[in-house]
Structure 1
Amino acid sequence: MHLFYQPAAVEYLTEDDSRHAIKTLRLQIGDDIAVTDGHGNRHLAVISTVDSRRCSFRITDTQTTVPRPFSVRICVAPTKNLDRIEWFVEKAVEIGVERISFFFGQHSERRVLKLERLEKIAVAAMKQSLQSFLPRLDEALPFGELLKTSIEEQRFIAHLPTDEPPINLAKRATVNGQYSVLIGPEGDFSDKEIQQAVAAGFQMVTLGSNRLRTETAALTACQLLNFLNV
């Protein structure tokens, strides 16, 4: 069954979804669809009006999805090449993530980030993977300001320590936790940022023996925490 996204409490699809339903999928009156509000509610519905700008539907049943017993927040510095961060957002949403936060670090090459396109990518990934929760995407903050927003019980910074044996994220984290993972920019974290993160309760972890690009590291952290909770 086709899944659509309508965050408002109305019985018609958004203009983009209406166009997709009628022009691309060629759905007709009486066809069954599913509609999610992105907050865990999924409505089973039947198309009642065929209109490529405002396709209406009639709800026949509503199912509520229970949130996961754990939550994953990935805090990542936007990459210079925006395509890479768009790829990360798409794949992270498909795998499972509750929140993606962006920050500008001392070594960040990109200093401007607009969320509009990333939000559209997240919505498309949510629908494609048949999920009922739309992850939260946060506006980019300076690194120090981001740390103030991190209240998750299990906080990690993906950085290889030099004065102690490295511990993999999958071994450091415990199941059913509220996780927050910091992923640095292409130029890595500065020494001052690492000190700030540790002072804010972040534990240093490794994501494996290979050196990873920013977007790969962010997705790896997301995967490890999801696999830990399978």
Structure 2
Amino acid sequence: MPHTFFAPDLTPATPTYTLPEDESKHAVRVLRLQEGDAVTLVNGQGGVFGAEVSDASPKRCQLRVVSEEQVPPRSFQVHLAVAPTKNLDRMEWLVEKATEIGVDTLTFLRCARSERRDLKLERLEKIAVSALKQSGQAWLPRLTELTDYARFLPTTAPATTFIAHLEDGERTPLSRVAAAEAGCCILIGPEGDFTPQEIEAAFARGIRPVTLGSSRLRTETAALAAVHTVHVARELAGL
């Protein structure tokens, strides 16, 4: 199977592509690619390109594009809004696995009980790119800067936004409502959960509460379970 490289600025009108120096070095010296070898290029915007090595230079490995395919976006959009954990490794794991399964947008929330008050996206974006290449996905998820919960809520569409929380009260299984919508946004709180005030603020906007099951899940586990639940629910519904 051809090796995959990320080429964010590649378009269907581009006949050749030169890998960045770090990727060129990896392709030639580590993967030992030679002239004529086949590779795959993805631009993260649905473009999947077949190419072959035309110049195996470890500083400027040049590729000739020989085929192209535009993969349409999913018929439904998955938006995950999650409060990052204090341990950043757990968020890196979430970004990797959610990208592999298929998520369109990852919004990071700053909530009242959040232990992490700042977040740098550069490493998380690199992890998303790596997961994109590994999993064969064509669309790179959009990662947003850390956003205050109170500022984020008014940007949501209440009819397709759901909040998973641990407070008492009636909640609908996410699997039941996810299949009924063309897309959805799921809110996942911090390690101490959303505050009662944050939950009430969501209810005031018409956002519905959902459950992911009877177990008490870690933040990153709940977030990944939510993404997977949406995909499975829609597959089972034949959507």
TM bin (shorter chain):
over 0.9
Q: TM-score, normalised by structure 1?
A: 0.95
Structure 1 match to 2:146? 140
Q: Distance in 1 between matches of 2:158 and 2:72?
A: 20
**Equivalent pair of 1:126/1:132 in contact (CA under 8 Å):** yes
Partner deviation per Cα, 1:111-169 (whole Å, 9 max, x = no partner): 010000000000000000011111100111110111133237511000145243x3211
Structure 2 match to 1:2? 3
Within 5 Å, give how 1:1-230 maps onto structure 2: 1-9=2-10, 11-151=17-157, 153-160=159-166, 162-164=168-170, 166-175=171-180, 177-230=182-235
Q: Distance in 1 between matches of 2:116 and 2:24?
A: 35
SS of the residue corresponding to residue 59 of structure 1 reads strand
Q: Distance in 1 between matches of 2:55 and 2:83?
A: 44
Identity of aligned residues (%): 48
**Equivalent pair of 2:77/2:184 in contact (CA under 8 Å):** yes
SS of the residue corresponding to residue 33 of structure 1 reads strand
The 3 A distance-change label for structure 1 pair 151 and 176 is closer
Q: CA deviation at 1:71?
A: 1.1
Q: Which amino acid aligns with 2:232?
A: F
**Equivalent pair of 1:119/1:137 in contact (CA under 8 Å):** yes
Aligned length: 229
The 3 A distance-change label for structure 1 pair 211 and 202 is same
**Equivalent pair of 1:86/1:118 in contact (CA under 8 Å):** yes
Q: CA deviation at 1:17?
A: 2.2
Q: Which amino acid aligns with 2:217?
A: L
The answer for unaligned runs of 5 or more in structure 2 is none
Q: Distance in 1 between matches of 2:86 and 2:195?
A: 17
Q: Distance in 1 between matches of 2:57 and 2:197?
A: 56
Partner deviation per Cα, 1:74-132 (whole Å, 9 max, x = no partner): 10001000000100000000011111100100000010100000000000000000111
Q: CA deviation at 1:19?
A: 2.2
Q: Distance in 2 between matches of 1:152 and 1:59?
A: 44
**Equivalent pair of 1:153/1:178 in contact (CA under 8 Å):** no
**Equivalent pair of 2:128/2:140 in contact (CA under 8 Å):** yes
SS of the residue corresponding to residue 203 of structure 2 reads helix
Q: Provide runs of 4+ in structure 1 moved above 6 Å.
A: none
**Equivalent pair of 2:158/2:207 in contact (CA under 8 Å):** no
Q: Distance in 2 between matches of 1:174 and 1:229?
A: 5
Q: Which amino acid aligns with 2:162?
A: F
Q: Distance in 2 between matches of 1:201 and 1:123?
A: 35
| Pairwise CA RMSD | 1.5
